[in-house]
Copies of this chain bind each other. A is one copy, B any other.
Amino acid sequence: MAGEFDLIATYFRPLAGPEGLGLVDDAACVTVSGGADLIVTKDLIVEGVHFIGDEPAQDIAWKALAVNLSDLAAKGAAPSLYFLGLSLPADRPEAWVAEFASGLRACQDAFGVRLAGGDTTASRSGVTISITAMGSLPSGTMITRSGATVGNDIYVSGSLGDAALGLKMVQGDLDCAPALRDRYLRPMPRVGLGQMLRGVASACADVSDGLLADLGHICAASGVGARVDQVCLPLSGDAATLVGRDSALWPCVYSGGDDYELVFTAPREQAEHLVRIARDCDVPLMRIGVIEAGNECHLVDPEGNLVQSAHQGYQHFR
């Protein structure tokens, strides 16, 4: 079996209309009349693949919805509705469903979205969650992955690596602060920030596959390269402590995934504006590098030595 991206390119892109944006963005832009575009995203969350299965059902639900809202945030959309597909084994206790619903409630209240439909079915084994989320924005203002140009600054929100370190904690491989585990289980999509980046960011993606992988998606879609300074990567206090103690944990920061931060590019003249946006959103924004000519995405140390080149990040079937 080919990798996920190859499968999509080979079999599904030929089926896609213009709203599907070639299926290289995580959301579709459906033009509706009245000056607004409707932005739609859809993620499947599979037990044994995206989650272990013994996490609290509230956390599974929160994350399933939050990752969709993160996709909308990366487009600059204001989220509004979501549709839930839930497939679960008949022997799953009803209490599990109740806890699952309470997790959805918590997440939808936190981000001001509402359930609007869906489907509930049995499964032969394990839980599968399918969420389709919708948001809107003024017509023509969606932030794509393809607008980065040479000389743009590269920014990332919040902090990186917490979720990957938290996953190691959940798996019993690392003893660390509970805040990191919570970061893995209950990501906070940058919904407010994303909307403020409309007209400011030239390209944007959410950090789900890992910083370098997602920045690599921007570079591939924009036809550019990137240089990222490792010393600029923003770490939480907890993550800095762990990475300072064991430098083998560094890949959690730049390739770990599940951060659900926004990585975006912007022209240099937006720098002051971005300081104000960071303040207004109460979200730290760190300039981590610059867009260059070429097609490679390099992470370099303070001496300019290559630490890591972008790789594809996680792909199913690989």
Interface magnitude class on chain A: 35 or more
Q: Which one of B23, B100, B119 lies within 8 Å of A44 (CB-CB)?
A: B119
As a 0/1 sequence over residues 116 to 135 of chain A, the CB contacts with chain B under 8 angstroms (1 = contact) are: 11111111111010101010
Q: Which one of B12, B36, B44, B122 lies within 8 Å of A87 (CB-CB)?
A: B44
Q: Which one of B50, B97, B132 lies within 8 Å of A121 (CB-CB)?
A: B50
Closest to A113 in B: B17
Interface status of A272 (Cβ within 8 A of chain B): no
CB atoms of B120 and A87 under 8 A apart: no
Most buried by B among A11, A81, A92, A130: A130
In the assembly, how many copies of this chain are there? 2
Closest to A11 in B: B101
B residues near A317, Cβ cutoff 8 Å: 90, 122
CB atoms of B130 and A42 under 8 A apart: yes
CB atoms of B36 and A121 under 8 A apart: no
Interface status of A301 (Cβ within 8 A of chain B): no
Closest to A115 in B: B15
CB atoms of B124 and A46 under 8 A apart: yes
As a 0/1 sequence over residues 70 to 94 of chain A, the CB contacts with chain B under 8 angstroms (1 = contact) are: 0000000000010111110011111
Provided the pairs A38-B38, A41-B117, A132-B42 are in contact, do residues A122 and B81 lie with their beta carbons within 8 angstroms? no
Q: Which one of B84, B90, B123 lies within 8 Å of A1 (CB-CB)?
A: B90
Q: Which one of B17, B85, B117 lies within 8 Å of A20 (CB-CB)?
A: B117
Interface residues of A in 217-235 (CB under 8 A from B): none
Interface status of A150 (Cβ within 8 A of chain B): no
Query: Can you name 4 extra interface pairs (CB under 8 A) apart from A12-B118, A17-B115, A42-B118?
Result: A23-B118, A32-B36, A42-B85, A44-B130
Complex A-B, nearest 3 residue pairs according to Cβ-Cβ distance, in ascending order: A33-B34, A17-B114, A130-B130
Q: Which residues of A contact B (CB under 8 A)?
A: 1-2, 4, 7-8, 10-12, 14-17, 19-21, 23, 25-28, 30, 32-36, 38, 40-44, 46-50, 81, 83-87, 90-94, 97-98, 100-101, 104-105, 108, 114-126, 128, 130, 132, 134, 316-317
